[in-house]
Structure 1
Amino acid sequence: MVGTSEQETFAYCDRLDYAPGDTVRVHASSGSERLRVSLVRPRADGDTERIRHRHEPVAAVEPQETPGSLQPTTVGSFGLVEGLDADVADGLTVVVHAWPTRFAGDGSTLLSLTGDQGTVELTVDANGILTGRVRTGDRVVEVVAEAALQLRHWVTLALSVDPAGGMLRLHVRPLDRLVPGDLPRTTEASGTLAGLGPLRRLLLAAGGTTTAPDGSPRGTGCFDGKLDSPTVLAGPRDADALADLAVDPRPHAALLAWDLGTDFATTILRGTTDGAEDGLLVNAPTRNVTGRWWDATEVDHRLAPGQYGAAHFHSDDLEDCGWTVTHELVLPDDLASGVYAVLVEGSDSVDHVPVVVRPQAPGGVLFLLPTFSYLAYANARLAEEFDYSGDVLTNRDVIPSDRDKQIYAHREFGSSLYDHHTDGSGVCYSSHLRPILNMRWDFRSAIQDAPRHFAADLVIPTWLEHLGLEHSVTTDHALHEQGLDALAGHRVLVTGSHPEYWSKRMLDAAQALLDDGGSIVYLGGNGFYWVTSADLDRPHLVEMRRGHQGIRTWQSEPGETVMSQSVEEGGLWRLRGRAPNLLVGIGMAAQGWDDATPGFERTEASRDERVAFLFEGVDRDVIGDYGLVLGGAAGDEIDRADVSLGTPRNALVVATSQPHSAYYLASNENVPAPTPLINGTNNPDVRADVTFFETPAGGAVLSTAAISWTGSLAYDGFDNDVARLTENGVRELLARSTSG
């Protein structure tokens, strides 16, 4: 239910997964006079028309009723250093290098230094005109640059405050591709500049601060662009000295200096001089980006020390909403592992936040909820990135759902890894410390007109429960944090419908499970595709770099493909030598969204006695030519076998999709040269392959090759041949692990 912005109820929790006995801390915002907060267990099954969602209360957790309250969200990244004690009574000179990427309509601040009685600041207006300004008491002296800054061009800025001479000087030195009239120059203004007092605070990429509901700082007047090496020198400089300083300020002794080129995985703004306290980087500016000194000879900061000294700040960055904890739910010590949700009900609207209770005992199937992928798509505004209009990507009517409308109405809740920042740069971080409105059981993806991601994945634990199979649930986050320990005692790992974003730690753990005789049932498509990371000290924040290959809505800037948190090359796992085929036998082939999604046709290999168990009770040669997602089992994003990419030689393709339409296009990493042979009508590689193979250690892998498989799994109350084949596979692999 969706109300007005004043009525709407939103929430998030402090974690995505918990152990029994843990306390779930809920951060809720609502204009409703009363809120009811409870723990429920959601389910998803289907009839012959659609996937149906329902939920049941967890009686062991007492609901709570409290007044509602609105909690604001302030976006924008910035740097903050407090506790300074730098005497600048005789004047100062501040130097910073800037690479602006957007000029805000109401202006923004590159740098602000606050003294006991005044402020020194550098601001830029909507037209790119830079102003240096000193405020002392009720006096304001400012100097305005003669020429506008240029977007995406490095410039060195030096502002000199000379109290004795009553002069404020601003030097602007462009560094990239000078054009006529775009020359280094110094402008001056006179006025009374005394009385600033000792410097106490630095703000980088913000002009001021407010306070979030939880007391943490938030920025105002935030800047879009890169900043590098903020430095304060004691004393003023004349025009000639400023010009020399702007060429290379590094040889000059600094009173205060900070380095943005270290501690990439942290929130630390590192001070490098005596008196320059370490500061805080708020709301996750992009780290490990090329700086003012990058010369394009290396694309890895480890090989080019000093050339990655910048951070890219964005006025719409968000790491943490900063809401207070409004409710705490204590989980029973004996609560079964599974997918739950915190249900927050206002008088006019509701929200429901998924939470997972991790397994406490080994045994049975382990379902892995793809939470890294959920964060990658968190609050995605894909209609802005893909043109859904016309007869291009689909022949279906694309109608935004209520949750889609909320996402577009509440941009303050941040973006997905598919979106662009307001300055046009790609979003490479995503956090769960905010409402994620498409990670809800009632989310319907517009282009599929069906549940996707979490709403679709709920089918799998519901189906396992329907079968009476012992199972537990864990998350990508737990697997990344704990590695193989997260899988301990579980011999069959079942994935979600779209486990696209995986870290090295996760891949290593899954491979170790297979090497130890365990098995994997991969119930999706386009899995294990993008290199992803999360620092163990900030597990709420996932990162990826798109690189320059793969299906992408943006691509990395030159020199910026190495992850800031894990310090590894980003992009596709395939380009790192770990194609999905190596783990599960198949890898990304194509994607499409039409109303004629096919099923799978059994192959000759399906008659092999090695896979006879899969087809017990399956009487038809065409499987899944029906479904609750796009009308068939072989739809959305689809995978195929390819020995050249690592599909094991003993793998059996037991079913392959029937011909796809022109709306199914080959993934671009599979099309090395321009060619008309790119769609389901003319390219035989545009297909999905249900694949099975045994491992040397005695386990096996069953891969079903399409995101829409779960939509067919749920069809007619799980009474269909897709469900039977999948059940046969899971039961056989469980039996093998038990007997082994």
Structure 2
Amino acid sequence: MSMPIVGYTDRLTVEPGQTVDFKISCDVPTFTASLVRLIHGDPNPAGPGFKAQHIASSIEGTHPGRCQSLSAGSYVRVPYGTGLTPAGSFTVHLWIWPTLPTGGPQTLISQGRLSEGGYALRIEEGKVTFRVGDQVLSAPKVLRARRWYSVSAVVDVTSGEVRLDVVPKAINCAAEHDRAVGAIAVPTPGTTDVLIGAEQLDSAEIGNHYNGKVDAPRIYGSVLSESALEAISQGTALDAEVSPLAAWDFALDISNWTVTDTAGHFHGQTVNKPMRGTTGHNWDGTETAWPHAPAQYGAIHFHDDDLGDAGWATTFRWTVPDDLPSAVYAAHLTAGDAEDYVPVFVRPRSGAPTAKIALVMPTFSYLAYANEQLLNNPLLDKGDYPSQVQDRYIVENGLLSLYDKHSDGSGVCYSSRLRPVVNMRPKVNMAWLDGGKGSPHQFNADLHIVDWLYEHNYDVDIYTDEDLHRDGGALLEPYKAVLTGSHAEYWSAEMLDATQQYLRGGGRLMSLSGNGMYWVTQLDPETGTSIEIRRRGPATRMWEPEPGEAHLSSTGELGGLWRFRGRGPHTWIGAGHTAETSGPGRPYRRTEQSYDPEFAFVFDGVDGDTIGDIPCLVNSHGAAGFEFDRADVAVGTPVETVVLATADGFGDDAQNTIEDVLLADSQQGGTQSPNVRADMTMLRYPAGGAVFAVSSISWSACLSYNGYDNDVSRITRNVLEAYISDGM
């Protein structure tokens, strides 16, 4: 573990009077903790530098250290109940779709430890095996990846034999039985849990995690005949008298983490959030949305690197004092020369705003990028990258973001906050930005906004995406102005509804984001601790879901871009994502319409036509950069939208987004495509509502230049002052 001290919290948002648990892992016997208010997290000497205020608190002092490990790998646990262990002969059957069949041992279903009389139906060296103790029976043939198989193990106490039967299901091959028969010990697992997708090792650990899908696992309390097994493999109903002891139907609980036994009362629970809403062995393609044909979505896709909850013990707790201002705080942890900052966002009490301005920190986007494996990204040249301890920790511990793929090549669709999110920290850069020198991104970049508000003495209430998702329009209604973070990319329908309600009611939004409101996102409705996406194209994306798996398991709604559900940012912000670049940005140039007296307040005190041709703390230069947006009536921008300024002249490393390209023509770079531009926009709403959109991630990273006295800072302040004083 490359971080000697690291931690996370049980919640990201907390209000006065509430308590947050800090869960810390430390390599040494003791460490120190203190509370700080984070103001500016970027130590780049070109800017104002790192800023944090020490806050006296109950967590101050020395704490005992202990190592806490990360136990990845998803599975289903079925707690033992009377009758779950057959008294004599029994049969296990399930459908499997392995994705890494030739990897290490992978357990399909098990009960108890092998050394204590338990059994495990596994894949070993690509073949289906059945183990009891040190005895093993193996089917002859190696499984093919990404092919459905009917797998059964018959334990016949009378004959003293175990019989394996593996039948492939593929349009191009005959349903030939791959069989094995052997005399091995009869399992006696006793009163132990059944695990699906893993097994209990001789140590206290759960291991041998399976990669792939499982559908319709069943245990029968008898020996099934060959004709019965044949009927199962052909999808034919069995005789009524052949009833299972336990029959888990994964199609019944797709939107939660429960597993229902339709034959009795042996219900289970998934662990570490395996992928749900996945096509089963009987999916025929007539429906591509699981809510329309749930019986064809009776599979769960397990991964050996799923991690829904690290499960660490609480090290210390902090109760927010009643008089603590809303702000961004962190527990500053130190152990020798090592340190970590574990952030927590303190909001006002519910229904009791303390300011005219609200800043919504884009925590869904933080989770989407959480622990992105930049050092393992094959698309990036990492030769000269700075070696951050956080990047090494991510790789060494196999942590994954929604931009990564699992070990079996499938995309990561869930991201949890119940684990260390080590790139949601001050002082941490996204390594591939600025030509490999690194620049702040997400949380650390959003502290540029926090710092600017602090330096200009604005009182501001801090909220998170979770708050907006849960509380809806009532959260925003009291505020004169609402600000986004620099990259508010991942939004739920609830967030869209709430913000659009606010705007229609006269609210004013400052979208300080580039590539905002892009992906359909959902907060896990059961636990509230993770988000879900499906990277359905067309879109600029790192992976594509399997056919038929583009709908979110949490809600059943279609994933992908909001644009293709008619709710893209163009339609209500005025501009939407168009391109990105890791190189220097560009300045804006005012449009003729910006000189209309109606918009004079925006440019008060700004000289000339050029805006933001200054050094920047993201990608080194230019207010329009990194990821940026354009206005376009053809994709939904309202005709009432006013483009105040435009930035163009980007190089060909900035490519128009895939969702805009119908035919590959090699003419989508910044030197050729008119779509590769950033448009600063203003869109009026009835009742005095308005959206001002800067359409660039880099904008906020220019705010502090020249002691906060520059045209980017001035325009931002002009608009904010007009918003809060009704001076538009």
Measured in 1, the distance between the counterparts of 2:62 and 2:53 equals: 18
Q: Which residue of 2 aligns with 1:494?
A: 483
**1:417 to 1:502, Cα distance in 2 relative to 1, 3 A:** same
Q: Give the direction of change, closer, same or farther, for the CA distance of 1:622–1:574 in structure 2 (3 Å limit).
A: same
Check 1:149–1:628 CA distance in 2 against 1; reply closer, same or farther (3 A cut): same
CA distance in 2, matches of 1:713, 1:40: 23
Residue by residue, what CA displacement relative to the aligned partner does 1:475-516 show, whole Å, maximum 9, x if unpaired?
001111111232241131100000000000000000000011
Deviation at 1:264, TM superposition (A): 2.2
1:32 aligns with 2:28: yes
1:309 matched to 2:305: no
SS at match of 1:511: helix
Identity %: 37
Give the total of aligned pairs.
713
For residues 14-93 of structure 1, what are the structure 2 equivalents within 5 Å? 14-44=10-40, 49-50=46-47, 52-86=49-83, 88-93=86-91
Residue 296 of structure 1 and its aligned partner are, at CA, apart by 1.1
Q: 1:683 to 1:57 in 2, by over 3 A?
A: same
Q: Which of the numbers 553, 574, 579 marks the counterpart of 2:542? A: 553
* Corresponding position: 1:431 with 2:416: yes
> 1:102 matched to which residue of 2?
100
How far the C-alpha of 1:403 sits from its partner, in A, is 2.6
Segment drifting more, 417-426 vs 482-491: 482-491
**Given the alignment of the two structures, is residue 401 of structure 1 paired with residue 401 of structure 2, yes or no?**
no
Q: How does 1:91-170 map to 2 (within 5 A)?
A: 91-103=89-101, 105-114=103-112, 118-125=117-124, 127-135=125-133, 141-170=135-164
Distance 2:587 2:375 in 1: 27
- Matched residues in 2 for 1:64 and 1:250: separation? 66
Match of 1:343 among 323, 332, 342: 332
Distance 1:211 1:191, change over 3 A: closer
Aligned AA for 1:118? G
Q: 1:158 is aligned with what amino acid?
A: S
CA offsets 1:298-351 (integer angstroms, 9 cap, x no match): 111122131100100000000111100001112111111111111111123111
Counterparts in 2 of 1:537 and 1:190: CA distance versus 1, 3 Å: closer
Please tell me the residue identity of whatever aligns with 1:378: A
- Whether 2:245 is the aligned partner of 1:255: answer yes
3-state SS, counterpart of residue 420 of structure 1 = coil
Aligned-pair distance for 1:201?
2.5
Deviations 1:149-193 (A, max 9, x none): 11100001011000111121101010024448x832322112453
Q: What is aligned with 2:656?
A: 666
Counterpart of 2:376 (choices 368, 377, 384) is: 384
Unaligned 5+ runs, structure 1 = 213-217, 391-395
Query: Once the two structures are superposed, what CA deviation does each residue of 1:17-65 show, in whole Å capped at 9, x if it has no partner?
Result: 1001211210000012221122111112888824622211112545131
Q: Which residue in the other structure is 2:288 paired with?
A: 299
Conservation of the 8 A alpha-carbon contact between 1:37 and 1:344:
yes
User: For the residues of structure 2 that align with 1:556 and 1:197, how far apart are their CA atoms?
Assistant: 38
Give how far 1:544 is off.
0.3
Structure 1 position 237 matched with structure 2 position 220: no
Q: Is the 8 A contact 2:111 2:189 kept in 1?
A: no
1:189 matched to 2:182? The reply is yes
The answer to whether structure 1 residue 266 and structure 2 residue 256 are counterparts is yes
Q: SS of the residue aligned with 1:605?
A: helix
Is contact 1:89–1:198 with CA below 8 Å preserved after alignment? no
Distance 1:386 1:51, change over 3 A: farther
**Matches of 2:697 and 2:25 in 1, distance apart?**
34
Residue 171 of structure 1 contacts residue 243 of structure 1 at CA under 8 Å; is this kept in 2?
Answer: no
CA distance in 2: counterparts of 1:241 and 1:693, whole angstroms: 66
Alignment deviations for residues 665-694 of structure 1 (CA, whole Å, 9 cap, x no partner)? 111001111112201100111000011121
Give the alignment partner of residue 365 of structure 1, picking from 357, 374, 379. Answer: 357
1:410 aligns with one of 385, 389, 397: 397
Q: Give SS of 1:711's match.
A: helix
Measure, in 2, the Cα distance between the counterparts of 1:290 and 1:43. Answer: 47
The one of 588, 613, 619 equivalent to 2:601 is 613
SS in 1 for 2:700: helix
Supply the distance in 1 between the matched residues of 2:640 and 2:315 (Cα, whole angstroms): 55
Contact 1:78 / 1:219 at 8 angstroms: preserved in 2? no
Q: By how many angstroms is 1:383 displaced? A: 4.8
Residue 215 of structure 1 corresponds to none
8 Å CA contact 1:141, 1:189 repeated in 2: no
* TM superposition shift of 1:133: 2.5
Return closer, same or farther for 1:548/1:687 CA change in 2, 3 Å cut-off.
same
In structure 1, what is the equivalent of residue 694 of structure 2?
Answer: 704
Instruction: Tell me the secondary structure at the aligned position of residue 118 of structure 2.
Output: strand
Task: Please identify, of 241-250 and 696-705, the stretch whose mean Cα deviation from structure 2 is larger.
Answer: 241-250
Q: 2:404: which partner in 1? A: 419
Mapped partners of 2:312, 2:212: distance in 1 = 27
SS in 2 for 1:563: coil
- Using a 3 Å threshold, how does the CA distance of structure 1 residues 592 and 402 change in structure 2: closer, same or farther? same
| Letter in structure 1 aligned against 2:109 | L
- After superposition, what is the alpha-carbon deviation per residue over 1:277-310, rounded to whole angstroms, capped at 9, x for unaligned? 2111000000110011111111111221311001
State the alpha-carbon separation in 2 of the partners of residues 158 and 45 from structure 1.
Answer: 57
Asked if structure 2 preserves the Cα contact closer than 8 Å seen for 1:61 and 1:331, the reply is no
**Are the aligned partners of 1:115 and 1:198 in contact in 2 as well (CA < 8 Å)?**
no
> Given the superposition, is the C-alpha separation of residues 157 and 569 from structure 1 closer, same or farther in structure 2, using an over 3 Å criterion?
same
1:377/1:505 CA distance change after superposition, 3 Å:
same
Q: Distance in 2 between matches of 1:426 and 1:170?
A: 32
Q: 1:624 aligns with which of 608, 612, 631?
A: 612
Q: TM-score when scaled to structure 2?
A: 0.94
Cα root mean square deviation, aligned: 2.2
Shift of 1:696: 1.4
The letter for the 1-side match of 2:49 is R
2:645 is aligned with what amino acid? A
Q: Is the 8 A contact 1:399 1:447 kept in 2?
A: no
Change (3 A) 1:48 1:13: closer
Structure 1 contact 615–725 (Cα < 8 Å) conserved: yes
Residue identity matched to 1:142: V
Distance 1:108 1:622 in 2: 61
Q: Supply the distance in 1 between the matched residues of 2:177 and 2:403 (Cα, whole angstroms).
A: 38
Q: Provide the rounded CA distance (Å) in 2 between the counterparts of 1:605 and 1:673.
A: 34
CA distance in 2, matches of 1:437, 1:211: 29
After TM superposition, the score normalised by the length of structure 1 is 0.92
